[in-house]
Structure formats: C-alpha cells, structure tokens
Amino acid sequence: MPILQIDHLKKYYGKGNMTVKALDDVSLTVEQGEFVAIVGTSGSGKSTLLHMLGGLDRATEGKVIVDGNDIFAMNDENLTIFRRRSVGFVFQSYNLIPILNVYENMVLPIELDGATADQEYLELLISTLGLKEKVHNLPSNLSGGQQQRVAIARALATKPSIVLADEPTGNLDSKTSQEVLILLKQLSEKFNQTIVMITHNEEIAQTADRIIRIEDGRIVNESEAAGVRGSGVRS
C-alpha cells in the first residue's frame, strides 16, 4: 500500500470569474521509502500542494491519504495530533527554537507527544547528520547548514510516516546545499523514510528518486531517477 495517496486534489481560491486554481486535479502516489522531488516555479502550486499534504490547509475537493488516514476527514484537534506524530516538516528557515539546544530541539516533538525517545535511533541520527559534537550547542552557535541538519534530525526523530521538506536548501550556499541533499537521500535509504521535497531548482531535484514537475496547478510530467526502489536492486 502506498504511504501517500493524493486523489484528484483541487484547491481553488476566490469565486466565479476570479477563481484562482492553485491546484487543479492533482493525483499522485508515493511508496514507502521514496524520495520524491516536486519541482515548479513560484506560483505553480507546489507550496499549496505541500500544505495540503501536511494537513496545514484544507482542499476544495479531493482526498489526501497518508498511511491509510484520510486527513481531511479528521477534525482540527485530531489533525494536529496526526501532524505531530506522522508528519515531519523541514522548512527553508529551519524554525528551530533558539532557547533550546540541539538535542532538546530534536526531542521536542517526541516530548510534546508525551512519549519517550528511542535513544539508539537518535544517536544514529545524530551521527549520520554529523552533529555529534554539537548536541549541546544552541542553534545560534551553528552555521546554516548545521541548523538545517538539526531541523532534519527533528523531523525524523518521531519516525514519521512522511517527511515534507519545503525548499530545504533555500537559505544555504551551493556547497552546503549539496551536503544537506546527500544526507536527505541517505537518510531516506537508510531508514526507509519517505521524503517529499519541493524546490524550484532542477539541479537540487536531481538527488531525488523521482521528480514531479508541476505547472499552473497541474502535474506536467514525472521522471524516474536512478536507483528507484523496486528496480530489482533490493528485491
């Protein structure tokens, strides 16, 4: 069963002649462990799509099913809990809490949920992301790339069904961007973590297993990249 299923998703703003079709009948499925890039220029609807996937906004029509849950069928309270447990977010601007250190930032979503952290997994995550020496630092003492790596660690700490990354390298230089992308790719492989990343940058998108191009609210074409799961490599 696919981990993410989007069924004829539509999002219209305004009415009558003034209707803006931010998303116009988008359908898509993502399998567990895939690293998918959604590429489009600004205004193409890619951010709207991401907001729908994360349950940050509700659609005009259509369904989004994450790990078997129809997210628009949930009420706001359940949707909040669902987001906390099943969706990891990585934003362009990191959104770390400045008064908490790296470790505290990472475990925050777990603690908000009242659960206990899986120490072994966290340590593996920390070492994979090269944050071993920075665990007790405050975000303000870290470089942009390091801060984004903490944000990625935080997004993955709860072992969510899906990680949504919104221009994760938007604020980073090309060197650091490259590193962050490789890490995302490796994490997706290592932990079989599903990642959906949106970007306007074609080169950045190439790290992904699959690229989905979106224009004027519609998917224009899909291309599979090298090493897609199920190409026989791991079967």
Give the binding site for another protein (CB under 8 A).
81, 113-115, 123-124, 127-128, 130, 143, 145-146, 175-176, 178-179, 182-183, 185-186, 189, 203, 206-207, 211, 223-227, 231-234
Q: How far is the CB of 6 from another protein (least distance, A)?
A: 23
CB 146, CB 176: distance < 8 Å: no
Q: How far is the CB of 201 from another protein (least distance, A)?
A: 13
Nearer to another protein, 51 or 149 (CB): 149
Q: Based on the number of CB atoms within 10 Å of its own CB, is 149 exposed (0-12), middle (13-18) or buried (19 or more)?
A: buried
Structure tokens at 81: 């809990």
Q: How far is the CB of 234 from another protein (least distance, A)?
A: 8
Q: How far is the CB of 233 from another protein (least distance, A)?
A: 6
Nearer to another protein, 61 or 224 (CB): 224
Angle made by CA atoms 16, 27, 52, in degrees to the nearest 5: 70
Alpha carbons 234 and 211: distance in angstroms, whole number: 21
Other beta carbons within 10 angstroms of residue 2's beta carbon come to 16
Q: Which amino acid is at 4?
A: L
Nearer to another protein, 164 or 204 (CB): 204
Nearer to another protein, 48 or 177 (CB): 177
Q: How far is the CB of 78 from another protein (least distance, A)?
A: 10
Alpha carbons 152 and 88: distance in angstroms, whole number: 8
Alpha carbons 205 and 200: distance in angstroms, whole number: 8
Structure tokens at 67: 């790990």
Q: How far is the CB of 226 from another protein (least distance, A)?
A: 3
Nearer to another protein, 15 or 234 (CB): 234
DSSP 172: S
Helix (H, G, I), strand (E, B) or coil at 179: helix
Nearer to another protein, 59 or 204 (CB): 204
